[in-house]
Structure 1
């Protein structure tokens, strides 16, 4: 993600939630973890590292190692999995690299994309990717591209709002948060058409579904910056966490954040009963039945990516000291109200997310 161009957006991690009755993949058969690293913007050095939890072996560039030192490209944004294939979204290179798993051999490259962001799929033949449109100074309404995963091509496109982000597939619908607006576009999976638009708060950027199939949307709020030094920031709207039922999306439970920062990186536990998000340089945990936002951090670290391994509930946090030097990931053991660090490993520049396979 082009962070220097989008100061009011939190960087997002990689995993999209799915319909537990329809789209949950079978239990992974390996102990692999893939760690995404954006790389330096315009350097073309984005990478995915492969970590074996059993042996603790780390391959820092799994794609290069499997494909004669080939480069993934510029800004590895996210990755999704369908069956035995991985779909690596390379934002500034305008493509998705399709690889076999777990060996990371290249299968195909999906092109004809523009600023692709996040991928999910609902079957072995159909995938979805959000795409931005327009330049930083004048973003236009984005699109949801519907992908044919048999031919690895774009089958159709659906116009959505500005800067669509981390989408959610649930109950035959694709929910697309439009992070430069205050809306979520809802696409009907059967028809491939926009079925409705849900108004939420400013800056919806990530979505998850809980154990009761409620949708949770984390909205960052908006901040404006002066165009000349000292580039003073003015908060236009606060962050908001919103819950709604797909059957009555206009009825919303809202949790408002203080004006001291923008929340980001909404995640949910494997049991779909605990939410996780970042706020003011710390990670927070919140029950889906809570009536207020938590006040005490779960982990007091500023993560550039965060995820929980569904196989054993190990917590993974990514650390990016800068976007010109290597980062690392830290593994934690969940202790209930807090977490204890286990170990850490160095990876490429800008780690931003994890995929478990």
Structure 2
């Protein structure tokens, strides 16, 4: 469930849209099979979140030869993944799939995709997962209507049981681990957050809260600096706020630079490649040099010219740019792969609402 800004108004709109449209018989159906070797050691997992409330989340796999395989979780394990796949993380030989509306973490072997365990104790509306040592840390909204019950769940990776909670403010989303700390972006759940929490991993306690602009939805770390992109409140809230990009010194948590976007512009999906930041705005891709650190007036490239309809997932990795196109939220989506010059290299049909990419190599 990663509709824009995660807000209740658009959430309800999409829910009603699904109720009307998800029975459509005219959507394209991609081929579903598994590699003959059953080996997923070299390639890219694409997480398809599926329609909220429909339990049709799935995982696709793009192998090194450019062959796409869909529904690999259900084909390998003969069962459905669950309702609304949010994100995934790797640790050791395992992959941990965060299934939001099912309130589970599905643990599989990352190379065979064989199911190992389901984590459900002390998990309520999970969002993202990171790892350190033998622990996993999972952001949870709890009850989205309760602003005081949000937390990070501390998962014991040996027992696959949650052993503790770290209370945080409303709407914890993406997580980064750096220098013994967890940085938590608070988009706000059904509200609108505007802080980054700094959690000490040893004591599992809050060290600091860094104020940013409304709706922080992307973070990267480079050379001791945390870069945060905040989308700002959208116009439909009737309280629209400006989007901003922050550069924060992690030695003292001080904001050293802030770039402000024009009114009405709401960027998201911050990514990093070498000395450049990439982000998405109005279905176009933009880039910023870390050395110049100035907003570009023009897009780097516009994937809509290649048929991208709804840029929903975005990743930059090893010299390529990966775009997930959710189409109309009910038809099967597509993934587009570009080089760093913005030239289209590959396009593949996947399943409903592709949202993220995970590299197994």
Q: TM-score, normalised by structure 2?
A: 0.84
CA distance in 2 between counterparts of 1:30 and 1:100 reads 10
| Paired residues for 1:8-157 under 5 Å | 30-54=41-65, 56-68=66-78, 70-112=79-121, 113-123=123-133, 125-135=134-144, 139-140=147-148, 142-157=150-165
Which structure has more helix as a fraction of its residues?
Answer: 2
Residue matched to 1:293: 295
* Unaligned stretches of 5+ residues in structure 1: 11-28, 226-232
CA distance in 2 between counterparts of 1:140 and 1:218 reads 25
Deviation (angstroms), 1:199: 1.5
| Pair 1:267-2:271 in alignment | yes
Match 1:190 to one of 191, 202, 225: 202
CA contact (8 A) 1:164 1:205 kept: no
Instruction: Map Cα deviations across residues 262-317 of structure 1 (whole Å, 9 max, x no partner).
Output: 21111112x3x21111112211111222231112212313521111233xx22211
| Pair 1:216-2:227 in alignment | yes
Q: Please state whether the residue corresponding to 1:355 is helix, strand or coil.
A: strand
CA contact (8 A) 2:287 2:296 kept: yes
Match 2:285 to one of 271, 275, 283: 283
Deviation (angstroms), 1:91: 0.5
Deviates more, 1:189-198 or 1:343-352: 189-198
Count of residues paired in the alignment:
320
CA distance in 2 between counterparts of 1:9 and 1:107 reads 35
Instruction: Map Cα deviations across residues 90-137 of structure 1 (whole Å, 9 max, x no partner).
Output: 0000011011012211111111211100111123x111111113335x
CA contact (8 A) 1:45 1:74 kept: yes
Match 1:354 to one of 350, 353, 357: 357
Residue matched to 2:327: 321
Residue matched to 2:14: none
Deviation (angstroms), 1:2: 5.7
* C-alpha RMSD over aligned residues: 2.0
CA distance in 2 between counterparts of 1:260 and 1:7 reads 20
* Unaligned stretches of 5+ residues in structure 2: 12-39, 304-309
| Larger RCO: 1 or 2 (CA < 8 Å, sep 6+) | 1
